Amino acid sequence: MWIVFAFGSAFFAGVTSILAKCGIRKTDSNVATAIRTIVVLVFSWLMVFVVGSQNQVGSIESKTLVFLILSGLATGASWLCYFKALQLGNINKVVPIDKSSTILTILLAFLFLHEEISIPKAIGVVVIATGTFLMIEKKDTDPQQIKGNGWLLYAVGSAVFASLTAILGKIGISGVESNLGTAIRTGVVLVMAWVMVFATGKQHTIRNIPQKELGFICLSGLATGASWLCYYKALQDGLASVVVPIDKLSILVTVAFSYVVFHERLSKKSAVGLISIVAGTLVMLIP
């Protein structure tokens, strides 16, 4: 059953990227992240009360709580980097780098969770790495879409923190109901996001957000909430080194919608890269 939740996470994560991109055309990415996190937090706690796990708050062990907080901090850092990269760069370049966190996650799962790296997983890592390289190769593009190379640093930061999120999250939800764990860590993300808004002096821009973009930001928050609930339920019941690769298949959803919504086309090399990433991900699912 956790496989189904993993694929659900992939679908909603793919939709999130497109909705978020639509919501940060004029809106500062940090402000957008802070607002959408409010939506995710409400959604998360709603699910906590639906499943009735709110009474478990007082029984959470200190070690579990620490890892949930650390996971939330890593998630916040990943989000801030990811949506800044989306604002500066082309979706079809940013997303593959973010999804390359699969490679680091597998290595960290081996080191800290003692999850075996089988031959299929090793092959998958190589194929995914190759595909990622092909998809981020330089090509002619609209200068309005790519503003320098700043997006690359943010995209790499997003991938690194996303890997840490998966490992810390796996440890953190081992002793708590997954919906409750998601809600707690979302609270940490919310605090971190708003601290960044005030630290960068962007709080005054909130009143100037176009209504249409605000709508997309809220919708991306709902999609994120659905993705998280599926993702951490899958992590709780399954292997992190398998759940994470499935979740990264969201790149297919993102690429499809980026073509329809933003008319972003893949070059032949990028198309080969996308096929490689998907193939490598599927290979990892071989027992």
The two tokens of residue 79 are 């989000």
- Name which of 59-63, 66-70, 131-135, 168-172 the model is least confident about: 168-172
Question: What mean pLDDT comes out for the span 272-284?
Answer: 87
d(CA 246, CA 129): 16
Class of residue 119 by CB neighbours under 10 A (exposed 0-12, middle 13-18, buried 19+): exposed
d(CA 115, CA 109): 6
Specify the pLDDT at position 137: 59
Specify the pLDDT at position 17: 87
pLDDT in tens, 119-175: 888 898 899 889 888 887 554 444 444 445 688 899 999 999 999 988 887 777 777
Domain boundaries, the chain: 2-283
d(CA 273, CA 287): 24
Q: What integer best gives the mean pLDDT of the chain?
A: 86
Instruction: Name the packing angle between helices 29-51 and 2-23 (round to 10°).
Output: 150
Specify the pLDDT at position 146: 43
For tokens 């370049």, name the residue: 93
- Name which of 116-120, 191-195, 211-215 the model is least confident about: 116-120
Nearest to 9 by CA among 254, 227, 238: 227
Question: What mean pLDDT comes out for the span 37-63?
Answer: 90
